[in-house]
Amino acid sequence: MIRIKLVTVHLPAGFISGLDRLVEEEKYPNRSEVIRIAIRDLLKKELWESLGFPGFPNPTPLEIR
């Protein structure tokens, strides 16, 4: 089971409007899911592949704190 932790993030209003639009267009179920997917894709590109874990995200190769 994946542990989920609450993280507070301050975003510009334009980013929030964009998140809301994606949800309104039913591309994602909610803001949190949009943000989780964006972070997963960033980690995949910037971290996991550089560590030799191409194509991850399940399960994450390390716990990032």
3-state SS of the chain is CCCCCCCCCCCCHHHHHHHHHHHHCCCCCCHHHHHHHHHHHHHHHHHHHHHCCCCCCCCCCCCCC
Q: Model's pTM, two decimal places?
A: 0.70
Amino acid at 17: S
The domain in which residue 17 lies consists of 13-51
Confirm whether 44 is domain-assigned.
yes
Domain count, the chain: 1
In 10 A of CB 12, how many CB atoms? 8
What's residue 61's pLDDT?
46
pLDDT for residue 60 is more than 80: no
Confirm whether 24 is domain-assigned.
yes
What's residue 17's pLDDT?
98
What's residue 44's pLDDT?
87
In tens, the pLDDT along 4-57 reads 999 999 999 999 999 999 999 999 999 999 999 999 999 888 887 777 766 655
Taking a C-beta distance cutoff of 8 angstroms, is the pair 31, 37 a contact? no
What's residue 53's pLDDT?
66
